[in-house]
Amino acid sequence: MRASTEHQLRGTVADLAVEQLPGGSAESLDTASADDFRQLIRAADIVADEAGHSLHRWVDAGRHAGLSWSDVGEVLGVSRQAAQQRFARSSAFTDLSTPETDHGADLICRTGMTAFNEVAALEEEGRNGNELVGAAPLKLFFAPRGTPWENVRVTAPALRRSALIKRYEGEGWTHAVTWYPFHYFTRRAT
């Protein structure tokens, strides 16, 4: 990555928290109240948390696309061992294939899922009474519920994530998982 691109990306991310202030600019910091700084701290925490999750998802996806731990370490400026120790068990769904999950039943894992075929799989599993509970590279995880479910995938940029989730939850959907740039929602079919 070029230094100018990295600088621009860092500036964009840094501005995300400031944009949450009334006025939405660095100039508004001069008149910011203690409550405004509480809001800034919370916004920065959300940005950092999402960035961490995003990094783990991209490393998982890169590994599934064929990157070695040496490749990941090189990109991050750490050793192969450091990259592997940090990310090897990072997938949010590493434990979903085990029966000791909190989803109340053995999970169904659909493999070979891509952007082109997973919408049909979401619909099929929902008709079969299975609720979407997770996603990983080329995989979708479902918990059998015994009654029909609606499972959907929505594409949205990370910057609109909270508004998207709020909108869908307002319509009775539950946010199941985000696997950037896709957001998955589920609800019992009516």
User: Would you list the domain boundaries of the chain?
Assistant: 3-87, 94-188
pLDDT band at 153 (very low <50, low <70, confident <90, very high): very high
Arithmetic mean of pLDDT over the chain = 81
* pLDDT per position as a tens digit, 115-124: 899 999 999 9
User: Does residue 102 surpass a pLDDT of 60?
Assistant: no
Nearest to 161 by CA among 175, 142, 147, 140: 175
- Is the predicted pLDDT of residue 161 greater than 70, yes or no? no
How much is the average pLDDT of 148-161? 81
Asked if 118 and 140 touch (Cβ cutoff 8 Å), the reply is yes
pLDDT in tens, 55-90: 888 888 888 788 888 999 999 999 988 888 887 765
* pLDDT for 157: 67
Residue 99: pLDDT band with limits 50, 70, 90: very low
Return the structure tokens found at 129. Answer: 């009474």
Q: Are 178 and 184 in contact (CB under 8 A)?
A: yes
Question: What's the pLDDT tens digit per position in 130-144?
Answer: 999 988 878 899 999
Judge if the upstream peptide bond of residue 148 is cis by omega within 30 degrees of 0. no
Q: What is the pLDDT of residue 88?
A: 75
- Return d(Cα 180, Cα 158) in angstroms, integer: 8
For the whole model, what pTM was predicted?
A: 0.51
DSSP 116-174: TTHHHHHHHHHHTTEEEEEEETTEEEEEE-SS-EEEEEEE--GGGHHHHHHHHHHTT-E
Q: What is the pLDDT of residue 158?
A: 59
- One-letter amino acid at 153 equals R
The two tokens of residue 119 are 């919408």
